[in-house]
Structure 1
């Protein structure tokens, strides 16, 4: 259709001159002219028929008063021209229903009729009507305002293309996604949004589809790549649907930027295999990678034994690292300092161990590392360096921290064929070093397996010891400097029906590790108080009966509440009951220790520090604790008075304890010479085989009766 403004302006002038019987345009064109006031001055029969009226009905009337899509489209175009004095024409497209129930599209334009000075005289509308299905389909998919609104409201990018891959419509979100302005992509090939390799594949696909009419991706969503206007390539998810409007085939592509999703998936995959704090592998990922390494090693070994540069064989060593009492760091400085210390620890491990070492975080404060070593001596040197480096001061978040580290290690030998074998041996070595106090290095030996089996068996049987009535208490007398029995210490014994007597030094650590120490301690408390009640009734109750309390029960259990409950029926026993706690347990959590000991003192229960000198050996801690007695460890008593250094230590401990108002008790006294020395330095009380071995309750009662009997002249 002619769109030249000059031609249309002259046409408008001729129409006005011709009056109401004006000219008509051939070929089904519809013509209308509106004056500057919006009144219709000319309408041919095609235009009038579109509005279901005669030309005479329209002349002199404003079209704005007619409820019809064509009139509305013209009114919008005129208003648009009125807002832009420099714009000479506006395209018009609208769809309307025909009388036979079909659809028709009117397309064309409205031209501003202006004089030489630029003043608007009127507006000329020139439209073409079509009922072609393809043209209607194009209008529906590309120009219908309702559909455009829906497309622009979508969050995802939406592209409508024809059979040849030409973009016919695109929503605002898609333009923004690919970095284009509105309308910039319409009419271009879809390949402009694809990286070159994908663009070539798309062209081949279109060619194949045109030849065979067999689509390959219709109805299928897939992840692919898109390319922005600036050349940036990014991941997208593309879904393609097919629609047919009349004879026309249209494709609708829905595009979503999946950069964030892929980043989240990659992060999730990373976190599934890596510790989020330290970045090392998780236990599961560690086992997978180590098993793969072992499998490759077995394949190499089957061909030829691997050799290092010096010609020596290459073996695997597994190091199991556990930070002792790491909770103390968190409690003292805060978790942020503990986290910083762990990250610094991992950094030091990677600096020390050979390249290619696989490292993982097994638990909160436990790590494992698999390294290649030349031999067992090489592994021992590495373990020693690791321990030295990790126990050196660490500057963590503005705090200096010193860690205690237990290292259990195992080196591959002919008995090790899998990672599981090596890991089990390293764990046994770690358990062994922890049983001996920790903060050291220990390598696996065959004896450890037997010891582990023994501990497992003891744990199983100890769980039933109370029900089977296999536990008993014996009492060892505590005497003053004159040799008179003043107190007694209750000692736990276990007589297994099949294993026989089991040493407390063996089963007490097992009970603490397994948590059985809690019910066992409760049994000891109730049994000892019941025995004290019987002694009181018989008149043979010592001044004090001391019970040993584990650090776990003392710091974490409801000790004060349980003792108050047991003593409710025997209030007179409160002044006769004493508790012994180890120095290490007392200072492990000083705040809790002071509070608990204060609560016990309010009940009348006396507390003593057991094995003084074997742990922190600092009276600066002891002076903060509300205790009445210090028990000097047997290790300092065993070789007095022959050992001058121990003599000095015992003398100093007694003097400082007396300076703090504390009573001293020496353990492990076995000879008269030891007794005489202790009396000479002012030790208040003594305990040991010289005065009596641990005995049954009746034997202690007999000793007290004999002591109370008058001496016959």
Structure 2
């Protein structure tokens, strides 16, 4: 019985699931060839052993192209999904299959979804033999939409991670999804926006026209911003309107159209651009225009005036240009600090706007230089304005808890028949400014035709002075300095320029040109080397005076290498150190008092004596003089010229001599031309004198003869 039951049971199982190899082979063939599925089989090494036409078509291949190949070598979403499923199965010894859902696009651009699974194929011992992939391919829009929908949580996570606002809406403009950034941007909760029309986020007239715009696009398929982006306006929940950058894209699922908008708040960017634009045209400290912006606005004003038929000769409204330069403004910064200097400049600009007519255009050209263009009725009106302006700007200014008085040079020009452009007027105002600065500054000067000729002359001199040394046009002459008995004690070296075409050029004319152009530095170096060479000749001939003084420019004195240069020049003539002297002006000495004290100390260590030249014409302050390690004071010729007739000059000279002697300094009076002047200077105790009375500037040979003639009686 048991045997029959066993036999019967075995027969039933065989009937339910035949194990006959032929049966299984036919079943596998039917499944592989006629099942309608997309099938692929990979061996354990990842090589394709079977691919049906459905699967090969997904990869746009023929089955024969895939057999024996590693599918990982094909760049396609399906092969990537297949490789991921195989990797999952390899990583789990108990998992038998891995699901696959993969979007794909065929060669005609049709979208579809490949869904199914990969099953691991193991032998009786449990070892992996291969992998069978069975898939279903669908292009049904509903299925595709379902596929997208089932991943909404992942997409929502991505959208919320975005910094920009993102809105998804349907074809009618109804909001279907919105990310957190967009909610924060507009001040809404997502529940307040989903299901509402996008126009809620737009100010008029954009909100009014939005529906019509979308309808037009759906009918014509022509959009102004799809895939392009533009700057527009958004409106927050509280009604605030703000600038945004909007980029719009679209997605089509079958007949459905979905719009995706990416929104960025550009308020800060626009504010930064506006600030940069403002700074490009305005001085950040004073708020007035920059030079470039000033020229643009003034040229436009001039052009408008010409278009209106404006004629300077007609006696109507004229333009006046005022060029303003604060003299020695660096002294304010050094004395009080830059914060005080900045406050003084801002106060100065405020006063300019108070004095000059309305609609005056003002600009800052340099650190302490400004310009202003005003409308005036005539030249007298301009002169009145310039005078008031100078008085107002040189009055005391309370700047950051300090009282400051500025020195101001004003150059001005008024429009006339010779002025047709701003450049013409500006050139004339600059010439007037140069003229007032050449005369000491701190005054007002209006342009005259003679200034153009003077400027041309200065330019000509600058050009020729550049080559004066190499053309051997410079020479030194020497003026004797005598004691009370008339004996030559020292001499001053004076520079002369004999131009081959222009003839003799006055030092009063070419020295300022050299200083302005910077040529004074190489010229001073030539003077030093030439004078030292001449002193060596005099020493060899036994006619070298006690001291030979050379004038040193402020630029050469303060640049920091004067001591090194003199050490180099005197290296071969060490004995000349005790015979060399340098003269510097008060202005040069106090321009940078710390550097002056250091440099003069270094020169004294070398045995070189220093003198203050033209004492009394500059600061004349004991607080400066007592700090400077100098040996002589040279009293300016302006105080000597009218002694002993002028009691005031007499008192000043007497005071200067007494002060110098009180400080242990020797005095030298310049410009002595008469015996009466000499006698007065001797009577007040002046130590040395210099002037035409004792000898004009002369060639080195003539000075040597003078020294010899005075020494002859002593030899006898």
Q: TM-score, normalised by structure 1?
A: 0.80
Name 2:173's counterpart in structure 1. 165
Name 1:298's counterpart in structure 2. 306
State the shift of 1:471 in Å: 0.5
Name 1:198's counterpart in structure 2. 206
1:137 and 1:396 mapped to 2: Cα distance?
73
Q: What aligned pairs does 1:419-458 form with structure 2 within 5 A after superposition? A: 419-458=422-461
User: Which shows bigger deviation, 211-220 or 133-142?
Assistant: 133-142
Q: Does 1:343 align with 2:346?
A: yes
State the shift of 1:172 in Å: 1.1
Q: What aligned pairs does 1:418-497 form with structure 2 within 5 A after superposition? A: 418-497=421-500
Q: Does 1:668 align with 2:671?
A: yes
State the shift of 1:352 in Å: 0.9
Q: What aligned pairs does 1:44-443 form with structure 2 within 5 A after superposition? A: 97=115, 101=135, 133-134=141-142, 136-137=144-145, 140=148, 144-301=152-309, 313-443=316-446
Retained in 1: the 8 A contact 2:570–2:577?
A: yes
Q: Decide whether aligned partners of structure 1 residues 712 and 601 sit closer, same or farther in structure 2, where only a CA change above 3 A counts.
A: closer
State the shift of 1:102 in Å: 5.9
Retained in 1: the 8 A contact 2:586–2:612?
A: yes
State the shift of 1:712 in Å: 9.9
Retained in 2: the 8 A contact 1:405–1:439?
A: yes
2:97 and 2:395 mapped to 1: Cα distance?
90
Name 2:541's counterpart in structure 1. 538
Name 2:637's counterpart in structure 1. 634
State the shift of 1:248 in Å: 2.3
1:424 and 1:102 mapped to 2: Cα distance?
87
1:170 and 1:138 mapped to 2: Cα distance?
20
Name 1:602's counterpart in structure 2. 605
1:214 and 1:135 mapped to 2: Cα distance?
29
Q: Does 1:508 align with 2:531?
A: no
User: Which shows bigger deviation, 485-494 or 620-629?
Assistant: 620-629
Structure 1 SS opposite 2:192: coil
Q: Does 1:625 align with 2:628?
A: yes
Name 1:656's counterpart in structure 2. 659
Q: Decide whether aligned partners of structure 1 residues 672 and 205 sit closer, same or farther in structure 2, where only a CA change above 3 A counts.
A: same
2:142 and 2:236 mapped to 1: Cα distance?
31
Retained in 2: the 8 A contact 1:69–1:96?
A: no
Name 1:524's counterpart in structure 2. 527
Spell out, residue by residue over 1:87-128, the C-alpha distance to the aligned partner (whole angstroms, 9 max, x if none). xxxxxxxx9946885699xxxxxxxxxxxxxxxxxxxxxxxx
Q: Decide whether aligned partners of structure 1 residues 435 and 342 sit closer, same or farther in structure 2, where only a CA change above 3 A counts.
A: same
State the shift of 1:426 in Å: 0.1
2:96 and 2:715 mapped to 1: Cα distance?
140
State the shift of 1:383 in Å: 1.0
State the shift of 1:331 in Å: 2.0
Spell out, residue by residue over 1:210-233, the C-alpha distance to the aligned partner (whole angstroms, 9 max, x if none). 333333321111000001111111
Name 2:685's counterpart in structure 1. 682
Retained in 2: the 8 A contact 1:141–1:147?
A: no
Structure 2 SS opposite 1:409: strand
2:449 and 2:313 mapped to 1: Cα distance?
26
1:371 and 1:173 mapped to 2: Cα distance?
53
Structure 2 SS opposite 1:339: helix
Q: Decide whether aligned partners of structure 1 residues 389 and 101 sit closer, same or farther in structure 2, where only a CA change above 3 A counts.
A: farther
1:306 and 1:236 mapped to 2: Cα distance?
54
Q: Decide whether aligned partners of structure 1 residues 250 and 579 sit closer, same or farther in structure 2, where only a CA change above 3 A counts.
A: same
Q: Decide whether aligned partners of structure 1 residues 510 and 596 sit closer, same or farther in structure 2, where only a CA change above 3 A counts.
A: same
Q: Decide whether aligned partners of structure 1 residues 616 and 512 sit closer, same or farther in structure 2, where only a CA change above 3 A counts.
A: same
Q: Decide whether aligned partners of structure 1 residues 176 and 465 sit closer, same or farther in structure 2, where only a CA change above 3 A counts.
A: same
State the shift of 1:199 in Å: 1.1
Gaps of 5+ in 2: 1-94, 101-112, 118-133
Q: Decide whether aligned partners of structure 1 residues 684 and 472 sit closer, same or farther in structure 2, where only a CA change above 3 A counts.
A: same
2:167 and 2:705 mapped to 1: Cα distance?
103
1:618 and 1:445 mapped to 2: Cα distance?
37
1:620 and 1:483 mapped to 2: Cα distance?
33
Q: Decide whether aligned partners of structure 1 residues 705 and 712 sit closer, same or farther in structure 2, where only a CA change above 3 A counts.
A: closer
- RMSD between aligned residues: 2.3
User: Which shows bigger deviation, 660-669 or 615-624?
Assistant: 615-624
State the shift of 1:614 in Å: 1.0
2:580 and 2:382 mapped to 1: Cα distance?
52
Structure 2 SS opposite 1:710: helix
State the shift of 1:139 in Å: 6.7
Name 2:68's counterpart in structure 1. none
Retained in 1: the 8 A contact 2:312–2:318?
A: no
Retained in 2: the 8 A contact 1:277–1:339?
A: yes
How many residues matched?
594
Structure 1 SS opposite 2:713: coil
State the shift of 1:711 in Å: 6.3
State the shift of 1:245 in Å: 2.7
Name 1:591's counterpart in structure 2. 594
Gaps of 5+ in 1: 1-64, 71-94, 105-130
State the shift of 1:593 in Å: 1.4
State the shift of 1:247 in Å: 3.3
Structure 2 SS opposite 1:709: helix
User: Which shows bigger deviation, 533-542 or 399-408?
Assistant: 399-408
Structure 2 SS opposite 1:614: coil
State the shift of 1:443 in Å: 0.6
2:250 and 2:169 mapped to 1: Cα distance?
10
Spell out, residue by residue over 1:310-348, the C-alpha distance to the aligned partner (whole angstroms, 9 max, x if none). xx6211110000111112222222222211111111111
| Matching residue within 705, 708, 712 for 2:711 | 708
Q: Decide whether aligned partners of structure 1 residues 672 and 508 sit closer, same or farther in structure 2, where only a CA change above 3 A counts.
A: same
State the shift of 1:143 in Å: 6.1
Name 1:113's counterpart in structure 2. none
Name 1:91's counterpart in structure 2. none
State the shift of 1:557 in Å: 4.2
Retained in 1: the 8 A contact 2:286–2:345?
A: yes
Q: TM-score, normalised by structure 2?
A: 0.80
Retained in 1: the 8 A contact 2:99–2:116?
A: no
